[in-house]
Chains A and B, each alone.
Chain A
């Protein structure tokens, strides 16, 4: 990705605190928040509405979990860049998320530095 253009960002997490934390802590001017969702169903709706380039995705969520949602978002837009931000720390889950189309995986809890490194890696 070119660092000079702006990228539309969608944050998906069932915790309001986490959504605000990600929004507040990310330090990239080129990332423009277009929406936040608390579950996979709302995420797909917002995704269709705003066509984001970058998505952060929680995995354990009500209505539709993150793994299923990743598959649906990638089907809608194969070029979307998805960073999974989840407490689920087993390797098998990370592998499954990547196989579904995620581009990065960050475990909770995380520091601001870890979050920004993950975004930087995602946009490289």
Chain B
């Protein structure tokens, strides 16, 4: 189970991603705990974690937010495939950055992307999820961290 200090790593990673990649800071809400599968948006990038910690980290966002994010990144392809690519890249970047604090034994997978209505999220039984709310411009997204 994550400690508060460890959660801070993911909050900082999320803050840094929007500041640098989108050149516009996001407002990060207070993280909260929940049991069961959290609700997701249209696109979800999932990173499986193994090694010293096990579980998943995922970033889920609506298409409208990803479209603006792509524009800010000077991207001009707004296809379904590019949305999937972006959501996976955000999840990968935030999870990879977490190794600054967790070390190389925090092993991350390549991103797996889910899209469409009610996708099936990978979940370890008995593991609770921390939800980190992300507000950026007029859009809301979430980072979900579910680790042993």
Q: How far is the CB of A41 from chain B (nearest CB, A)?
A: 14
* B99 and A17 within 8 A (CB): no
Q: How far is the CB of B118 from chain A (nearest CB, A)?
A: 26
* B104 and A93 within 8 A (CB): yes
Q: How far is the CB of A94 from chain B (nearest CB, A)?
A: 10
Report the contact-size class of chain B (Cβ under 8 Å from the partner): 20 to 34
Report the contact-size class of chain A (Cβ under 8 Å from the partner): 20 to 34
- Give the distance in Å from the alpha carbon of A9 to the alpha carbon of B100 in the complex: 29
Residue ID in chain B nearest A17 by CB atoms? B85
- Give the distance in Å from the alpha carbon of A14 to the alpha carbon of B104 in the complex: 20
- Give the distance in Å from the alpha carbon of A112 to the alpha carbon of B27 in the complex: 23
* A60 and B108 within 8 A (CB): yes
Interface SS majority for chain B: helix
Q: Residue B93 at the A interface, CB < 8 A?
A: yes
Task: Render A53-73 as a binary contact track against B, CB cut-off 8 A, 1 for contact.
Answer: 000000011100000000000
Residues on A with beta carbons closer than 8 Å to the beta carbon of B70: 17
Q: A17-B85, A18-B89 are in contact. Are A109 and B104 (CB under 8 A)?
A: no
Residue ID in chain B nearest A86 by CB atoms? B96
Q: Residue B136 at the A interface, CB < 8 A?
A: no
* A24 and B82 within 8 A (CB): no
- List residues of chain B with CB under 8 Å of any chain A CB: 16-17, 20-21, 70, 73-75, 77, 81-82, 85-86, 88-89, 92-100, 102-104, 106, 108-110
